[in-house]
Structure 1
């Protein structure tokens, strides 16, 4: 009878150990989660674009995404590669500092791509606004915008 009780107790401990998530025991108090938010999508140069922000504590990094605006034609060749000129501008609202601007030339084939800006640390309570523009001859950019408030 002792063997049976020992076996049942061991099985119960094993069952509880497999149900308890590992993160519950390994989380430390100093970790800060990254929160990602995205603005509305827009059409630029015949492509779907969107601007997103990753906020970790008081550090924010914006990135723009570019993808097909719809599914490619079935049975047809994929879309022709496009040379894109992307502009990612970021500013801390009310700081008086000039917006930072990054311009990149990228080649879009048909796979989604990201254009990342540089990360910046800003004071608590700041509002950070960014715009993402995509141009390709003969289309001018029609930038999408997104802003986040840094809460602490």
Structure 2
């Protein structure tokens, strides 16, 4: 088979593939609900950066907090920094409505960003979820960060 015949055969095959019907599962995947992630402003505290986020998928809400480094270490700071044992509190509620729950815990932070999982709930469409996340340790108290997230469905 010469080169021109191979190109023609390849083009004919490509046309046949493009003209084939689309499988039924492709239509089902386009109707999937999208997850929207919203995070509040970061808070700075004792060299740490904290923030609270919410993932909203339809009427389902997942709340979580994040703890990370506030920035590069100051010159002369020992590296890696010593691990810090932190007390965490993460809570959420529907504005003007019920509490979605609270999670209190302990976590050890050294360098890598830490995710603290919180309440997961189904909430009424059209409502707003308010979440709060705070971190404290021996020698320094909590400095909460918040986020308000609309649940549009």
* TM-score normalised per structure 1: 0.81
How many Å separate the matches in 2 of 1:121 and 1:44? Answer: 32
The answer as to whether partners of 2:100 and 2:121 remain within 8 angstroms in 1 is no
Q: Report the count of equivalent residues.
A: 144
Of 87, 94, 99, the match for 1:85: 87
The answer as to whether partners of 2:59 and 2:125 remain within 8 angstroms in 1 is yes
Q: How large is the RMSD of aligned CA atoms in angstroms?
A: 2.8
Match of 1:7 in 2: 10
The answer as to whether partners of 1:126 and 1:149 remain within 8 angstroms in 2 is yes
Measured against aligned partners, the alpha-carbon deviations of 1:4-32 in whole angstroms (never above 9, x if no partner) come to 53333235667x69xxxxxxx72515421
Unaligned ranges ≥5, structure 1: 18-24
Measured against aligned partners, the alpha-carbon deviations of 1:50-98 in whole angstroms (never above 9, x if no partner) come to 1111001101011110001112357842111001001101011111x34
How many Å separate the matches in 1 of 2:64 and 2:99? Answer: 19
Q: For the structure 1 residues 111 and 148, does the alpha-carbon distance in structure 2 shift closer, same or farther, using more than 3 Å as the test?
A: same
DSSP 3-state at the match of 2:9? helix
Unaligned ranges ≥5, structure 2: 20-24
How many Å separate the matches in 1 of 2:34 and 2:27? Answer: 11
Task: Give the Å deviation of 1:151.
Answer: 0.5
